[in-house]
Amino acid sequence: METLLDMNITQLRELLKRKEITSVELTGFYLDRIKRYDVELLTYIKLTEDVAMDMAKEADAKIAKGEDGRLLGVPLGIKDIYCTKGIETTCASQMLKGFIPPYDATVIKRLKEEGFVHLGRLNMDEFAMGSSTENSSFQVTKNPWDLERIPGGSSGGSASATAAGLCVASLGTDTGGSIRQPASLCGTVGMKPTYGRVSRYGLIAFASSLDQIGPITRNVTDCAMLMSIIAGYDPMDSTSLTQPVPDYMEYLGRDIKGMKIGIPKEYLVEGMDPDVKKTVEDAISFYVKNGASTVEISLPHTEYAVATYYIICTAEASSNLARYDGVKYGLRVDGKDIIDMYKKTRLKGFGKEVKRRIILGTYVLSSGYYDAYYKKAGQVRTLIRRDFEEAFKKCDIIITPVSPTTAFKAGEKTEDPLTMYLSDIFTIPVNLAGLPGMSLPCGFDSAGLPIGLQIIGQPLDEARMLQAAYVFEAENNVKKIPERFRNG
């Protein structure tokens, strides 16, 4: 059964269609792997075994009738941040423990329409606030390439489970790098689409002007497939874009001759791991050998991106998380009056990092500071977006590292939030500008830890990014699953 791990969704669908394997068998294969390996990796907060088996049986019945669906019978893992009808959704927080949504998020609805099997809820940083999955209030997920190291965050459970073969693929969310950074550190493909390309209806919000849902997969083909399913206009989301969605699969296999690749001079920062620098440079050389050309570009406001991001995202988090007060849903801790109840509920329900961001956000939105911080951050955000607009006049895509280093050890940065925040320095500008970006495995450092290549595209140009990623993947057989997780 080991070869199942190397098959993409299309190949698995062919096996299921030909009845060489049933969805119940395929789902059982993944559930057995989770039970065997997740005791050490801790990627799943909740395994939805009964739900998965019911969905698999339903898929087999549909296949028997000759019905079709792009994910019919294929088991996926879901980051615990989307509302899923009848299944507890916690955002890895004590605040939402026991919360069972009465409806499905749009992305879940679209996956269900294509017949997916829901394996379970994947761990994350609480309310998606973090870069290491150490801020989960339930457990600390480990990196499958080295169990002493973090998998990245906030979608660390999704990236680790996908990399270790504990699901065929998964969904994550990206507010400042939360899909791309864990994908890079775990050696998977991760896509953050253009802002508005994928509906956020039913996503539990962290920072509404930055959050975006995207796939985490073991190969580019599955990334294109999942994007084709989840992308598209949704009247339930006022920020959803009405532009038609291309067939991303059609772009796979096209060559890159004549493609212009922008290399930003500001992204070669001090403190970058030399292995990361060399591996990314080698990947750029590969593209040049295959007919692309490079052009140096400048993104001069990059140095202000992290500061700008942490003003905007904390302000929006302060506003979005005000709803968790013990009144309507989630945790409630009784007090002597309503104000005391608010205080006790929020004190117990939120973890340290979430409290830190709420306090920062409330401060920058407060009277007398709004203009000095939040308004100014919005203006700098515009300058960052304009930098990209100017750069794209000279190139088709931009290539950078995803992270300045490979995965760090658990506990290494927890006492220094600023150093932790800086680990997203290459991913944050993409969210501020609303652009699509993806992480593609491009090699390993001297310690055998994965390195990700970041491909940044023009608005709504995910297709060209996937085209470039597929060319690299097809010629460079970067190992996807660590040996210790290949058995059974």
Is 90 exceeded by the pLDDT of residue 270?
A: no
Closest by Cα among 189, 211, 186 to 201: 211
- Which of 433, 409, 434 shows the shortest CA–CA distance to 423? 409
For range 222-246, the mean pLDDT: 97
Listing from the earlier edge strand, what are the strands of the sheet with 212-217? 44-47, 117-122, 75-79, 170-174, 212-217, 189-192, 437-444, 450-456, 397-401, 260-264, 293-297
Question: 155 an active-site residue?
Answer: no
Torsion of CA 324, 329, 330, 335, to 10 degrees: 70
With beta carbons less than 8 A apart as the criterion, state whether 178 and 172 touch: yes
Cα–Cα nearest to 42, from 114, 119, 171, 142: 142
H helical segments located in 211-304? 220-230, 274-289
| CA distance to 153, 180, 419, 457, 466, per residue, from 439 (Å) | 14, 5, 21, 12, 10
Check pLDDT > 90 for residue 55: yes
Using the predicted structure, report yes or no on whether residue 415 has a pLDDT greater than 80: no
Instruction: Enter the tokens of residue 434.
Output: 């609303």
- Check residue 480 and give its pLDDT: 84
For residue 445, how many other CB atoms are within 10 A of its CB? 17
CB proximity list for 274: less than 8 A, separation 6 or greater: none
Residue 233 has which token pair?
């206009």
Strands of 63-193 (E only): list them: 75-79, 117-122, 170-174, 189-192
pLDDT at 478: 86
Is there a catalytic annotation at residue 178? yes
pLDDT, averaged across the chain? 94
Helices (H), 337-459: 338-349, 352-365, 376-391, 417-422, 428-433
Distance, in Å, from the CA atom of 126 to the CA atom of 353, rounded to the nearest integer, reads 8
pLDDT of the residue at 433: 97
**Which amino acid is present at 118?**
H
Supply 288's token pair. 């040049």
CB-side exposure of 313: number of CA atoms within 13 Å?
Answer: 26
Question: Which of 103-117, 328-342, 437-451 has the weakest average pLDDT?
Answer: 328-342
Which pair of structure tokens corresponds to residue 131?
């870069």
The answer to whether residue 1 scores a pLDDT higher than 80 is no
Give SS3 for 352: helix
Strands 212-217 and 170-174: antiparallel
Residue 306 pLDDT class (50, 70, 90 cuts):
very high
How would residue 417 be classed by pLDDT, with cut points 50, 70 and 90?
A: low
Q: Give the Cα separation of 175 and 69 in Å (integer).
A: 30
Instruction: Tell me whether the omega of the peptide bond preceding residue 240 falls within 30 degrees of 0, making it cis.
Output: no
Is the pLDDT at 419 greater than 70, yes or no?
Answer: no
Q: What is the pLDDT of residue 421?
A: 61
Domains in the chain (CATH in brackets) are 2-254+407-485 (3.90.1300.10)
pLDDT tens, 349-401? 999 999 999 999 999 999 888 888 999 999 999 999 999 999 999 999 999 99
Contact 157, 122 (CB under 8 A): yes
Residue 418 scores a pLDDT above 70: no
Above 80 in pLDDT, residue 176?
yes
Amino acid, single-letter form, for residue 155 = S
Q: What percent of the chain has pLDDT over 90?
A: 89
Say which of 136, 178, 184, 423 is annotated catalytic. Answer: 178
pLDDT band at 190 (very low <50, low <70, confident <90, very high): very high
pLDDT at 228 over 80: yes
Q: Is 154 a catalytic residue?
A: yes
Q: Is the pLDDT of residue 271 over 80?
A: no
**From the candidates 154, 155, 184, 240, which is the catalytic residue?**
154
Backbone angles phi, psi at 198, to 5 degrees: -120, 135
Q: What is the pLDDT of residue 357?
A: 94
In whole angstroms, what separates CA 465 from the centre of its chain? 16
- What's phi and psi for 437, nearest 5 deg? -150, 155
Q: Which run of H or E residues covers position 216?
A: strand 212-217
Whole-prediction pTM: 0.96
Residue 412: pLDDT band with limits 50, 70, 90: confident
Other CB atoms closer than 10 Å to residue 114's CB: what's the count?
Answer: 18
